[in-house]
Structure 1
Amino acid sequence: MTESYTVYALKSLFDGRIYVGFTSDMEKRLKEHNAGKTKSTKGFRPWILIYTEIAETRQKAREKEKYLKSGIGKEFLKSLEL
């Protein structure tokens, strides 16, 4: 069985910043972000999930993550905000 990856974007309810990453276990990863177990997101908790996309391979997940961190990708994520 091939492992799939979830590319995700989180929004900080603390200051509104957006964080993008990918994982093979989305539920566990979101809990880690909100528990302060990740250095880059610890100070900006709590986080809510605003976007997910399934990628078939780690390489495709990394490519999508890079896109979402680019200028046009950031604009796309901002357009999702309510």
Structure 2
Amino acid sequence: MAKNKEELEVIKDNQSNNSHYIYVVECSDGSLYTGYTTDVERRLEEHNAGVGAKYTRGRIPVKLRHQESFKSRSLAQKREYEIKQLPRSKKEELLD
């Protein structure tokens, strides 16, 4: 988990004015993929069209399970790295 939640300024809804997001999708095989984007809807469409990350191309369709928004790219990418280091059981605790 984050060492300082206030520093990350996480807003867990779609109505934020922030423009940097991390997201977790569940792939068709049940695996979880975490990524960074500035537009979650566009990125989800890319994954499902087979033009997203190589990991998800053979595992479509993907379903959005979690997202967080941030005020800066660096904060979002720090959180992305943090989530990627978690064991699956901890990632599942984040899922909506």
TM-score when scaled to structure 1?
Answer: 0.84
> Which residue of structure 2 lines up, in the alignment, with residue 36 of structure 1?
50
**C-alpha distance in structure 1 between counterparts of 2:95 and 2:75, whole Å:** 25
> Which residue of structure 1 lines up, in the alignment, with residue 86 of structure 2?
71
More strand by share: 1
How well do the aligned residues superpose, as a CA RMSD in angstroms?
2.1
Count of residue pairs brought into register by the alignment? 79
Structure 1 stretches of 5 or more lacking a match? none
Structure 2 stretches of 5 or more lacking a match? 1-16
**C-alpha distance in structure 2 between counterparts of 1:46 and 1:25, whole Å:** 18
- Give the secondary-structure state (helix, strand or coil) at the position aligned to 1:44: coil
**C-alpha distance in structure 1 between counterparts of 2:41 and 2:82, whole Å:** 23
**C-alpha distance in structure 2 between counterparts of 1:28 and 1:4, whole Å:** 13
Give the ranges of 4+ consecutive aligned residues of structure 1 lying more than 3 Å apart after TM superposition: none
* Alpha carbons of structure 1 residues 70 and 53: separation in structure 2 relative to 1, 3 Å: same
Pairwise CA distance, 1:40: 2.1
